[in-house]
Amino acid sequence: MFADLVLKNAKVYLADGIVEAGLAVDEGRIASIAKEANLPSACEKVDLKGHLILPGIIDAHVHLRDQGLKYKEDFFTGTCAAASGGVTTVLDMPNNAPVTMSVDSLKERAGIAARNSLVNVAFYSAFPEQLEEMRDIIEFGAKGFKFFFPKQIGGVDPEDEESLFRYFRKAAELNVPVLIHAEDKGFFESKFEELKRNGRCDVSAFLEAHSVYSEVKAIKHAVELARMSGGHLHVCHVSAEQSMDVISSARQDGVNVTCEVTPHHLLLSSREVDLLGFIALTNPPLRSERDQASLWLNLERGIVDIIASDHAPHALSEKKKDSVWEVAPGFPGLETIVPLMLTQINRGRLALSKFVQVTSKRPAEIFRIEKRGILKEGYFADFIVVDMKKEWKIDSSNFCSKAKFSPFDGRTVKGKVIKTFVNGRLVMDEGEIVEKPGMGKIIR
């Protein structure tokens, strides 16, 4: 056997632990994982000097923008950010301009992505205007439907209960998940109007409008829709203890519910909003330290299925506003998710096995991303090389993303991605993008 590439003198993370071995790549797939003496000859050999090879991150919650929102981010800059951060596959959210909610809109985005992406890209769709379109959308390759409870994005009004149930039931019939942004529309709108009437435009007003009560109420609503439809519900960016309680209880009752948390909800609390101001505003907002502790507990218990970045880039001018109601919530996360979590591994707070499970293996399983998510012979060669001992400071001015700000700016982290391989090709090497756009695959 003769391979395209051999990586030798490495530690490789496998299902049963870390082994001292090397890895051979041929035609974009992992051809062999073995001791150096048993590796094949290759066109190219790279000595990894004892560094760790992990499965590439599959980020299940990413906003790559582009099209009418290109000033915030585009497929090239967003996937450069992904490669820089160790993310080899991104799942793109549908709240774009125009909204991704039809086969035609998916085709358009997939075409742009195919020409410009450096990592693999998969897509979600919003609910289409016609129920019958859902099958065509899934057959095209969408990985699920995203529904936004606080406002209409897509073909279904959040207050049209009859239509909402029909769409949930159709998703169940198609055997695909419905992902939700959990926030009760009625509560948010009434609270928002009350706060504006009282002249409130401060950070605390934002936290009141986007309350835990609102999140929990929406999750309960969605759980009942999943229960009655028999479908799969995926709750995005869970931020509160009570939300976790609802999800855990629903699972015990046999409802098919999965969920994700973000690094910022694990590592930051509402105190950071007081310190950092509008830069730290996101939706759902950063919660109390008790909520934060609950997310960690539920991660350990296995209730949390996925850690995802919720990469939400904006122009800096959209964060620097006088009123909280004018601020665009969210911030970039593709370039910080891995170092932030590696730091927690180094501190003993997070097991390496759990990290791989919730950032690679489970996203692949939940969203049916075949032959990715673990390191195994025959699987696509999506993997990263990390220096677990490297200490460095996050500096958003060096981001590949167009959004050069972060609530983690200046934070010292331990653990750095030094190489990113996508489909067997080296895309990022020591902080430099070394491939041309268009080499990432569209995953269907």
Active site residues: 310
> How far is 169 from 149, CA to CA, in rounded Å?
17
